[in-house]
Amino acid sequence: MATMPTPQLVLGTMYFGTRLDDAESFALLDRFVEAGGRWLDTADCYCFWEAESGHGGQSEAVIGRWLAANPSMRSEVRISTKIGAEPQFPGGFPEHVGGLSAQAIRDAFLGSRDRLGVDSVDLLWAHIEDRSARLEETVEAMTDLVTAGATQATGFSNHPTWIVERAQHLARGLGRPAFTALQHSYSYLQPRPYAPIDGQDHRFGMLTDEHRDYARSNGLDVWAYSPLLQGRYDRDDRDFTSAYEHIGNERRLAALRQVADELGVSPGQVVLAWLVGSTPSITPMLGGSTVEQLDAALVGVQLTLAQEQRGLLDAAS
């Protein structure tokens, strides 16, 4: 298997083709690659809740059109897509989705590949849990795609650690390729335990200390979506939701603002630097909608925090 570059920032493309038209999406893709970015993240269900049809696929289709207009870019970028959460019919999410049976995985992957206009992807994720499917079946179908060269690697998004470990055990027992990555929601500020979080409808969507320990102990990559909490670190017009209102986060915000002032950057940029420099390193996924937001994020992931600054941030957290 070819060695893939370790990402420092992933361009999330959730709203390509819905909130963002082709021109806006292409501008972000062009700038990302120009700045040295490589990883694009999408999903077969993006963005069904924004689409009149109630179905996803728009994001993958935009990336496909961009690649068709720029054929040389396929060798420059790495494509990550997720399967399993596309509604079976409008309004079917979350009870009625494609799921992770062998047939569902094969069908979803072929659909993603057609929309993207590619022969293979670089990383394929099981997007959400499907306990109606036998895990053995899921593991076999996902790893069959690796063996066939349809994807270089596989990962789990929004799954509990025990399922990931059981899947790894099954893959080892079958002599199949291991899963290589986890994708969850994570940021410097942490919500109160069990507090409902706006926009988070996955039971195991939040990255936990157990996830991080498992990834560190087993050499898995960790990707974090919503690392900037929808811009709330830097935007005065967006307050943190009630789940994030507690004394621990007051201390974290004070430390974050102190480090940002010392470096002359925004708090959001410090958050990105803190994630990338964590152990294990956590790859932030940016879902911004403007080139300016993208440029600011690119600065953040290239920042190096001094030992004292990281110590201050870690002690507060």
Q: Name which of 62-76, 190-204, 253-267, 285-299 the model is least confident about.
A: 190-204
pLDDT tens digits for range 52-81: 999 999 999 999 999 999 999 999 999 999
Kindly state the tokens that stand for 315.
């002690």
pLDDT for residue 7: 58
User: Domain extents for the chain?
Assistant: 10-316
Q: Which CATH number fits domain 10-316: 3.40.50.12280, 3.20.20.100, 2.60.34.10, 3.30.420.40?
A: 3.20.20.100
Residue of 288 and 41 predicted with greater confidence: 41
Cα(317)–Cα(314) distance, rounded to whole angstroms? Answer: 5
Strand extents, DSSP E, the chain: 10-12, 39-41, 78-83, 123-126, 154-157, 181-185, 221-225, 282-286
Partners of 184 in the β-ladder: 224
Residue 178's pLDDT is: 97
State the residue for tokens 């499907």: 130
Q: Sorting pLDDT into bands at 50, 70 and 90, what band is 197?
A: confident
The DSSP output letter for 50 is: T
Q: Are strands 282-286 and 39-41 parallel, antiparallel or unpaired?
A: unpaired
In sign, the C-alpha dihedral spanning 130, 131, 132, 136 is positive
DSSP-assigned beta bridge partners for residue 126: 83, 156
| Spatial CA neighbour of 63 closest among 121, 104, 6, 109 | 121
Instruction: Read off the pLDDT of residues 14-51 as tens digits, 9 standing for 90 and up.
Output: 999 999 999 999 999 999 999 999 999 999 999 999 99
pLDDT digits (tens, 9 = 90+) for 130-155: 999 999 999 999 999 999 999 999 99
